[in-house]
């Protein structure tokens, strides 16, 4: 039997797109301990004067997160943003119906703007189009972005923020097709209110960009008719259409789980086709871009979440503890996003801290990186520049749910400013190493920088507060280069980052 092997040709002239840095965005919702006990915990030994946990901020800064979506999520459809501004002692406590908790409103727009600046991130603000509408949409843009001389901008100044927050990116609601959503709407109802809200928001600040809600998931009964109808109303007002998708392994079928990124690619293809149909229908010159502003692995915490007593402040909701195999899937999903970076210009790993997150904390205690932190870290740091068309030859396998899954999932990114090429590669083979050759002849001569590997003999291995480094990358993978070709051996079930420098 011939040993399995894979190959990839990378040509510097075959460019998918220059990657928008916002592809590596994330998400903070008022859900569980994402805010309270996550990014914000006054009294914690490492909290600053504003209550921001510095240990968490250090982990976020290391990720170089370019943009963070806030404040939801399902939360936003019942949220009055005015509850979270002004003196904290005057802010109301509210029953939060999306997640059945109590929201104390000790952290809101101004605090999040401050935290984002400290994290080195921009803000993607989601407006409430569930219980609110056009008037509130224009008012919050005026409060956040208008310099001065109007009611809402002067109110911001009175709250201690003379300079506008200059929030550029805004989501027109969240998952408005979902029956679980407060104020859920039909596609026509949503399309109309989104269009009218978009219109007045851009009248207040013409520089902003807007994201219209696509389907909550490709399994929705109205998908993709929802997208087509919504775009019929919003195409000339919105700049992006959102996609949301989560992936799980409740059946403990790892081989299928590792192939779920193919489903993400199919989702992107079909939404892109729907956008282009509306473009043709409207004879528009504009191409609609995509914002994959919720994606991740999510299934571990489902049973625990059903047992949580309602009406608590910041209970431990959606606290998935991630495994080595989850990290491999996240790596594959990141590669899928890079393959489609010509249309997916923004994406948000949902979420950032504690809630289905790469970063975990203990209240009053430690913060640490989960397994999925590492592929996200590597992609964010080394995946800047141009995504290159991956011409891949790989053996494949079938499962009961998905066929023709390549053992090799891979893409290359050329950082033309630094003169470096990075190959991201996942070996999906659970039993065998995979030999790989990467042809780089179009670049001239290259020299190795390094090969980083994330792997573990136990695919169910996790990181915890007691063992934060159980699953951690190592340098020194089995790779060599003759100047125009990389020869590597990818360990079984491994995430690999192979970097070379272009020297001529």
Only one residue has tokens 């890079």, namely 338
437 is catalytic: no
Q: How far is CA 302 from the centre of its chain?
A: 20
Chain centre to alpha carbon of residue 143: 27
Catalytic residue selected from 103, 142, 227, 294 = 294
The whole-angstrom distance between residue 101's C-alpha and the CA centroid of its chain comes to: 25
Instruction: Write a three-state SS string for 229-254.
Output: HHHHHHCCCCCEEEEEEEECCCCCCH
Contacts of 397 (CB under 8 A, 6+ apart): 255, 405, 407, 428
Q: How far is Cα 497 from Cα 422, in angstroms, rounded to an integer?
A: 7
Task: Tell me the residue ranges of DSSP E strands in 309-443.
Answer: 344-350, 359-361, 367-369, 386-388, 391-393, 396-397, 405-406, 408-415, 420-427, 434-439
C-alpha 47: how far from chain center: 26
Q: Measuring CA to CA, which residue among 51, 131, 134 is closest to residue 83?
A: 131
Q: Which of 334, 371, 344 is nearest to 356 (CA)?
A: 371
Q: How far is CA 270 from the centre of its chain?
A: 20
Collapsing DSSP to helix, strand or coil, 148 comes out as coil
Phi/psi at 212 (nearest 5 deg)? -85, 150
Catalytic-labelled residue, pool 103, 111, 142, 175? 175
Could you identify the residue written with the tokens 């075959």? Answer: 14
**How many other CB atoms are there within 10 angstroms of residue 476's CB atom?**
9
Angle ∠(488,492,495) on CA atoms, nearest 5:
70
Instruction: Tell me if 67 sits within 8 A of 25, measured CB to CB.
Output: yes
Q: CA nearest 345: which of 378, 387, 382?
A: 387
Encoded tokens for 373: 């932190």
Element containing residue 203 per DSSP (H, E): helix 187-204
Task: For residue 175, indicate whether it is catalytic.
Answer: yes
The four Cα atoms 173, 174, 179, 180 give a dihedral, to 10 degrees, of -120
Of 7, 4, 39, 88, the C-alpha closest to 355 is 39
**Bond preceding residue 224 cis, omega within 30 of 0:** yes
> CA 37, 39, 44, 46 torsion: positive or negative?
positive
CA distance readout (Å), 291 to 210, 284, 380: 10, 20, 17
| Catalytic residue numbers, as ranges | 175, 294
């Amino acid at each position: 039997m011939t040993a399995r092997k894979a190959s990839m040709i990378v040509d510097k002239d075959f460019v998918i797109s220059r990657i928008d840095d916002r592809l590596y965005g994330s998400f903070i919702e008022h859900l569980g301990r994402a805010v309270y006990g996550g990014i914000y915990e006054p009294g914690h030994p490492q909290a600053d004067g504003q209550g921001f946990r510095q240990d968490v901020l250090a982990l976020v800064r290391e990720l170089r997160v370019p943009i963070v979506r806030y404040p939801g999520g399902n939360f936003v459809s019942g949220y009055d943003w005015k509850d979270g501004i002004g003196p904290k002692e005057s802010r109301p406590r509210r029953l939060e119906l999306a997640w059945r908790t109590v929201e104390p409103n000790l952290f809101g727009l101004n605090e999040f703007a401050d935290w984002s600046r400290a994290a080195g991130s921009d803000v993607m603000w989601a407006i409430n189009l569930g219980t609110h509408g056009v008037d509130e949409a224009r008012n919050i843009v005026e409060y956040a972005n208008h310099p001065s001389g109007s009611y809402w901008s002067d109110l911001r100044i009175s709250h201690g923020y003379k300079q506008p927050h200059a929030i550029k990116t805004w989501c027109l609601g969240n998952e408005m097709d979902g029956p679980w959503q407060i104020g859920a709407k039909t596609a026509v109802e949503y399309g109309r209110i989104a269009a009218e809200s978009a219109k007045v928001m851009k009248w207040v600040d013409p520089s902003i960009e807007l994201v219209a809600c696509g389907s909550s998931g490709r399994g929705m009964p109205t998908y993709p008719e929802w997208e087509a109808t919504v775009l019929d109303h919003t195409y000339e007002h919105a700049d992006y259409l959102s996609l949301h998708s989560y992936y799980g392994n409740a059946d403990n079928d790892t081989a299928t789980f590792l192939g779920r990124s193919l489903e993400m690619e199919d989702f992107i293809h079909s939404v892109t086709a729907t956008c282009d149909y509306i473009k043709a229908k409207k004879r528009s010159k504009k191409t609609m871009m995509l914002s994959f502003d919720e994606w991740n692995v999510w299934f571990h915490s489902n049973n625990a979440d059903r047992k949580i007593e309602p009406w608590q402040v910041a209970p431990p909701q959606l606290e998935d503890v991630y495994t080595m195999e989850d990290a491999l899937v996240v790596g594959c999903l990141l590669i899928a996003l890079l393959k489609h970076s010509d249309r997916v210009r923004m994406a948000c790993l949902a979420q950032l801290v504690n809630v289905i997150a790469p970063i975990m904390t203990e209240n009053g205690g430690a913060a640490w990186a989960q397994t999925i932190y590492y592929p996200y870290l590597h992609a964010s740091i080394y995946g800047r520049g141009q995504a290159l068309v991956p011409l891949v030859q790989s053996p494949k396998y079938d499962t009961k749910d998905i066929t023709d899954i390549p053992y090799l999932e891979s893409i290359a990114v050329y950082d033309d400013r630094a003169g470096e090429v990075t190959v991201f590669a996942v070996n999906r083979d659970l039993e065998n190493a995979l030999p790989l050759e990467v042809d780089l002849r179009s670049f001239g001569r290259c020299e190795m920088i390094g090969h980083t590997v994330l792997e573990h003999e136990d695919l169910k291995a996790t990181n915890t507060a007691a063992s934060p480094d159980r699953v951690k990358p190592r340098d020194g993978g089995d790779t060599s280069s003759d100047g125009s070709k990389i020869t590597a051996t990818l360990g079984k079930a491994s995430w690999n980052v192979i970097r070379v420098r272009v020297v001529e």
